[in-house]
Amino acid sequence: MAQTLSVIVPVHNESACIRHFYDRAKPVLESLGAAWEIVFVNDASEDDSLERITALRREDPRVKFLTLSRNFGYHAALMAGISSRESDLYAIIDVDCEDPPEMLAQFYSEISKGAHTAYGIRSQRDEPAGIIFFRWLFYWINRQIADGPVRLWMAEFSMMTRTVRDAVLAHKTTFPFLRAELGYVGYRMTGIPYFRARRQHGASHYNFFQMTKFALAGFLSSSTFPLRFALYLSGFMAASYAAVVAAFSLDLARAAQVAAIGTFVFALLTVPILALYLARTYKNVSPRPVFYVDPGGTQLS
């Protein structure tokens, strides 16, 4: 019996890309020998993305879609997609075709050989040198401070088995960061390098501010080092204070001034970090779902 494959495609204001993606993905999926479907996750698009998807659905019943009740964000859309289907395999790919749909065949081949997750290694990009540097810096820092193993240049472009998908969904977090979740789950993972091209249709919604926000989310999802940093810093500053007082033979008034300055610097560096983690902890223990589905814009049968 053929394996079932659900291809999860998040969409937010990507009307110009939808037909192009389908036309490229369909022949690849047809060649796999699997019973496949494409599940577009409409993250409350404000353009005519849903209408374009609905038109594809009328042509091909293997096109499914669900709409979120509001814009919950990229990772929430992915979680909505993989949790909505019961399949043997799940693939995740962006609709803009910067991640080539043709690589789904390579992912499927690696899964057939025994891998639980096959993913694309985004080590080459057609981007400005500055952006490439900051991406490298993100991966380097993340690897240095992560609590567990980190896969360099790994993104969400991947295919996974039902075992991995179930393990990812078992992580009850209100801040899903799928690449970190996949790395944490483990099992046998195979990375395939590729060149990530520029999009050919539509405009990117991803700017430098969003990249920075995304990087911070990655650090917070994979590491508790910033919390330990407060402990290391307190020890360093206490030793430095004692050394300064002794070296310069400071009187009580000067020593108090140095202590006040040190306390201010310590608070400036650590309180924002503690606040971030406390806020995430508060939200994680609040029983709020990561997303809500709008039944009026959903067709999964």
**Rounded to an integer, what distance in angstroms lies between the CA atom of residue 6 and that of residue 68?**
18
218 and 230, same domain (yes or no): no
89 and 55, same domain (yes or no): yes
19 and 120, same domain (yes or no): yes
CA angle 39, 121, 44 (to 5 degrees): 30
Mean pLDDT lowest among 5-19, 118-132, 234-248, 264-278: 118-132
| Total domains in the fold of the chain | 2
137 and 176, same domain (yes or no): yes
Q: At a CB cut-off of 8 Å and minimum separation 6, what does 120 contact?
A: 99, 103, 154, 155, 157, 158, 191, 192, 193, 194, 196
204 and 149, same domain (yes or no): yes
Mean pLDDT lowest among 120-124, 212-216, 221-225, 261-265: 212-216
172 and 252, same domain (yes or no): no
**Rounded to an integer, what distance in angstroms lies between the CA atom of residue 130 and that of residue 107?**
30
Q: With the CA atoms of 175, 177, 182 and 185 taken in that order, what torsion angle do they form, in degrees rounded to the nearest 10?
A: -20
248 and 190, same domain (yes or no): no
184 and 244, same domain (yes or no): no
229 and 214, same domain (yes or no): no
201 and 78, same domain (yes or no): yes
pTM, entire model? 0.79
Per-residue model confidence (pLDDT) at position 204: 61
HEC sequence for 249-280: CCCHHHHHHHHHHHHHHHHHHHHHHHHHHHHH
229 and 142, same domain (yes or no): no
Q: What is the pLDDT averaged over residues 52-64?
A: 93
Mean pLDDT of the chain: 83
233 and 214, same domain (yes or no): no
- Which CATH number belongs to the domain containing residue 59 in this structure? 3.90.550.10
pLDDT in tens, 30-48: 999 899 999 999 998 999 9
Q: Which domain holds residue 273?
A: 225-284
CA angle 95, 98, 99 (to 5 degrees): 80
Concatenated DSSP letters for 199-231? PSSS-----HHHHHHHHHHHHHHH--HHHHHHH
Residues forming beta bridges with residue 63, ordered by sequence position: 38
Position 201 confidence tier, pLDDT thresholds 50, 70, 90: low
